[in-house]
Chains A and B, each alone.
Chain A
Amino acid sequence: MICAGIDAGSRTIKVALLETGTLKVVACGMGDQGVQQEALAMELLEHLLGQHGLSRRDVRTIIATGYGRNAIQAADETITEITCHARGVRHLLPGARTVVEIGGQDSKLLRLDGDGGVRDFAMNDRCAAGTGRFLEVVAARLGVDLHELGAMARRSAKPAAISSMCVVFAETEIIGLLAAGTPPEDIVAGVQASIAARVCAMTGRNVAEPVVFTGGVALVPGMAEALQSALGRPVAIAPQPQMTGALGAALLACAKREA
């Protein structure tokens, strides 16, 4: 039998399917988020099931997470992305003590205990300046693809100082930097450092190692290095970092099934 985890995030929907008992990943996939959140999630779920010759009847339990979790009526239970990301990371990298998750619209810092349970957490809540949205805005403004940002940042000789706490103001700041002739590479490096600094501000004084980086932004080249530099500690990127929440939800669904 199968258990499903649905991570209805602000930018994308992720689904993970696990085989109960063995906890083997049967399938996972991702699609764009939209207005019809449940329909999109169910479409993705059905698609993944169909690809593996399965149907909804094979799914024993569904747990939904992410901002849109309450829109997923088909879910047996909803659990926050804090708990789900922690569970997902614990499965993939059992020794992790700190998890940094940067998604499309928010960022989180989770402190885990020795058993992988959440001891405490912090989330950004003022602005998108510490999130993937910032990178999207910058990429669009510079007319480059998100995946080019890492290579650009690496070419930077002098990262620009981005001081705004707000994406809208930061965009204005970037326009000013461009007008002043600042190389785009320096702007990108400055933005990545700025996002990492926002996350760093959530950590307080203690960051226990190992630190694991998850969320879609972990896939953006250069971000892990920026985070590592800001934290002053090595940062490991979780395997398939954008799927950690869905995986955690699926694992919790399996655990619920067995309980």
Chain B
Amino acid sequence: MSGRPAKISLAQWEEQYAALRAAGTPEAPYGGPLGRHVRDGDLRLTELQFDNSPAALRLWNFLLTEEDRLHQARAGGKKLLGAMKDLGTVPVLAYSLPNVVAFYPDGAWWLPCVMRMSDGLLAMADSLGVDESFCPVRAMLGAFLSGAHFPIPDLCVCSVGATCDDFSAIAQRLEGLGYPILWWEIPARRRCEAGEECVELPGGFRAPARQVAFVRSELERVRTALEHLAGGRLDDPAVAEGIRQANKVRRLLKELRSLAYSSPICPMPALEMLLAEMLAIHFCSDRDECADVLAELLQEVRGRLRRQEGLLDREAARVFVVNPVADLRVMNLLEDCGGRACGTEYLFCHALDEIPQDLPPMEALARMALADPMVGPARERAERICSDILAFGAEAVLICRIPGASHCATEGAVIAQAVRSRLCLPAAEIEAPPVSDSFQTTLRTRIEALVETVLSARKR
């Protein structure tokens, strides 16, 4: 029905959706035309280009109906957990309980972009003294205050310590406003000292066993809080099953990323791949459906590769993208400029690696949490990025600084330096605010120059 793979506008999707309905193509209960989200205020959608497959439509609809799903969960008597900052750890625990639904209030950081600043969330954060010197995740404060988006969680759990200075400050401000938070600490991952017991972490990192033990003890506190929230036990077999289900999602994503980023042709646009990867950390409030959404997307990608039908020019420059962009439109821009996403590191690569299943489950989760790229030295993050660049065959690196994000101030230079010196690849840094229209010329110049550099290097 969707024909050859293509990137289409919202208006084109409206026409195609009508055709899909007329043909009787089945859709999920949360399905519908993309345009309805614009009517709900998601104005940025009118300026994006989308993949034209029903699988991509399902992905978008799944993502854009998360708030509805959370309200339905509450109405159905489920407990809501606001997991904050750990990006991929606490939700695995939460979804091990039958009556708890976890989500990331941090996800509100995209609302100013998606709603094209129409909701005033950043202005609300400004009024609370959390201004633009902080990461756009400060939109979360506005979302809590307005109550116009996600329901207020029954419990908020936030990792603090080595994760992110901005987020800690924002979450502290939130708690000060009367939203209690269960804090758990994650230490800065460090190298093992001589004679110190050391353990392997997912993603090839290592950490002292005593750090893992500490994180495990912190996660035990979270487990106890979750048991209180759910009114039932969360034993090791239940957590182990939760890990197995999370790994199912991670395996789907692993294959999706491998096919999409390594293939000679591009079977899925960078924007839809970004959305898909985000599912790894929170399951979009429905773990089972999340797996189904990804399975359909993977099937679409496999089919396109089998038919050798790509979306972009085969000669597109293969670009590894570091950090999620505050403005989704930049993902379109990368492709408009002749680039193609071939590998990503969106600050949660630990949530894409499988959680060890041959360890006691809480130990496995603790190791996974310590593999978070944000809790280790920028140098180790850069090493992981270099290794992934080689695996995906990327030819250049685009580092997207998040405006106001404290870790981005210095990490970008470290990563760029590592890429240049170890891999001899060009790297460019960009910084895009949530609505970057007035920066398009600047952004375009940097991305086009990166693409030109790649194409010129190929000729040599």
The chain A residues found within 8 Å of chain B, CB to CB, are 67, 70, 79-83, 113, 115, 117-123, 125-126, 204-205
In the bound complex, what is the Cα–Cα distance between A67 and B443 (angstroms)? Answer: 11
- Most chain-A CB neighbours within 10 Å: which of B424, B426, B449, B456? B449
The chain B residues found within 8 Å of chain A, CB to CB, are 413, 416-417, 420, 424, 426-431, 441-442, 444-446, 448-449, 452-453, 456-457, 460
In the bound complex, what is the Cα–Cα distance between A80 and B338 (angstroms)? Answer: 13
In the bound complex, what is the Cα–Cα distance between A113 and B457 (angstroms)? Answer: 10
Q: Out of A67, A115, A123, A204, which one reaches B420, CB within 8 Å? A: A204
Closest to B428 in A: A121
Listed A/B pairs (17) with beta-carbon separation below 8 Å: A70-B441, A80-B445, A82-B445, A82-B449, A83-B453, A117-B457, A117-B460, A118-B452, A118-B453, A118-B456, A121-B449, A121-B453, A122-B416, A125-B446, A126-B431, A204-B413, A205-B417
Closest to B451 in A: A80
Q: Out of A80, A81, A115, A120, which one reaches B426, CB within 8 Å? A: A120
Using A120-B427, A123-B446 as known contacts, say yes or no to A204 and B453 having CB atoms under 8 A apart: no
Q: Out of B424, B431, B452, which one reaches A80, CB within 8 Å? A: B452
In the bound complex, what is the Cα–Cα distance between A83 and B413 (angstroms)? Answer: 22
Residues A125 and B448 in contact, CB atoms below 8 Å apart? no
Residues B449 and A125 in contact, CB atoms below 8 Å apart? no
Residues on A with beta carbons closer than 8 Å to the beta carbon of B445: 67, 80-82, 123
Residues A115 and B460 in contact, CB atoms below 8 Å apart? yes
In the bound complex, what is the Cα–Cα distance between A205 and B420 (angstroms)? Answer: 11
In the bound complex, what is the Cα–Cα distance between A117 and B444 (angstroms)? Answer: 20
Residues A120 and B420 in contact, CB atoms below 8 Å apart? yes
In the bound complex, what is the Cα–Cα distance between A83 and B456 (angstroms)? Answer: 9
Q: Out of B416, B453, B457, which one reaches A82, CB within 8 Å? A: B453
Residues B430 and A125 in contact, CB atoms below 8 Å apart? yes
- Most chain-B CB neighbours within 10 Å: which of A67, A81, A120, A205? A120
Residues A125 and B460 in contact, CB atoms below 8 Å apart? no
* Least Cβ–Cβ distance between B441 and chain A, in angstroms: 6
Closest to A125 in B: B431
In the bound complex, what is the Cα–Cα distance between A80 and B445 (angstroms)? Answer: 6
Residues A125 and B429 in contact, CB atoms below 8 Å apart? yes
Residues B430 and A67 in contact, CB atoms below 8 Å apart? no
Excluding A82-B453, A117-B457, 11 further A-B contacts by CB distance (< 8 Å) are: A79-B452, A80-B445, A80-B449, A80-B452, A83-B452, A113-B460, A121-B453, A122-B416, A123-B428, A125-B430, A125-B446
Residues on B with beta carbons closer than 8 Å to the beta carbon of A113: 460
A-B pair number, CB within 8 angstroms = 60
- Most chain-A CB neighbours within 10 Å: which of B424, B429, B444, B448? B448
Closest to A66 in B: B445
Residues on B with beta carbons closer than 8 Å to the beta carbon of A205: 417
In the bound complex, what is the Cα–Cα distance between A82 and B447 (angstroms)? Answer: 11
* Least Cβ–Cβ distance between A8 and chain B, in angstroms: 11
- Most chain-B CB neighbours within 10 Å: which of A80, A113, A204, A205? A80
- Most chain-A CB neighbours within 10 Å: which of B417, B453, B456? B453
* Least Cβ–Cβ distance between A169 and chain B, in angstroms: 14
Residues on A with beta carbons closer than 8 Å to the beta carbon of B417: 204-205
Residues B449 and A117 in contact, CB atoms below 8 Å apart? no
Residues B420 and A117 in contact, CB atoms below 8 Å apart? no
Residues B426 and A119 in contact, CB atoms below 8 Å apart? yes
In the bound complex, what is the Cα–Cα distance between A257 and B48 (angstroms)? Answer: 36
In the bound complex, what is the Cα–Cα distance between A79 and B451 (angstroms)? Answer: 11
Closest to B426 in A: A120
Closest A-B pairs by Cβ, 4 of them: A82-B449, A80-B449, A120-B426, A83-B452
In the bound complex, what is the Cα–Cα distance between A126 and B426 (angstroms)? Answer: 20
Closest to B457 in A: A117
Residues on B with beta carbons closer than 8 Å to the beta carbon of A82: 445, 449, 452-453
In the bound complex, what is the Cα–Cα distance between A211 and B431 (angstroms)? Answer: 28
Residues on B with beta carbons closer than 8 Å to the beta carbon of A121: 426, 428, 449, 453
* Least Cβ–Cβ distance between A129 and chain B, in angstroms: 15
In the bound complex, what is the Cα–Cα distance between A79 and B456 (angstroms)? Answer: 12
In the bound complex, what is the Cα–Cα distance between A194 and B426 (angstroms)? Answer: 26
In the bound complex, what is the Cα–Cα distance between A126 and B428 (angstroms)? Answer: 14
Residues B453 and A120 in contact, CB atoms below 8 Å apart? yes
In the bound complex, what is the Cα–Cα distance between A123 and B450 (angstroms)? Answer: 11
In the bound complex, what is the Cα–Cα distance between A81 and B449 (angstroms)? Answer: 8
Residues B442 and A125 in contact, CB atoms below 8 Å apart? yes
Closest to A65 in B: B445
* Least Cβ–Cβ distance between A225 and chain B, in angstroms: 27
In the bound complex, what is the Cα–Cα distance between A125 and B399 (angstroms)? Answer: 13
Q: Out of A67, A83, A115, which one reaches B449, CB within 8 Å? A: A83
Residues on A with beta carbons closer than 8 Å to the beta carbon of B457: 117, 119
Residues on B with beta carbons closer than 8 Å to the beta carbon of A122: 416, 428-429
Residues on A with beta carbons closer than 8 Å to the beta carbon of B452: 79-80, 82-83, 118
* Least Cβ–Cβ distance between A83 and chain B, in angstroms: 5
Residues on A with beta carbons closer than 8 Å to the beta carbon of B456: 83, 117-118
Closest to B401 in A: A125
Closest to B440 in A: A70
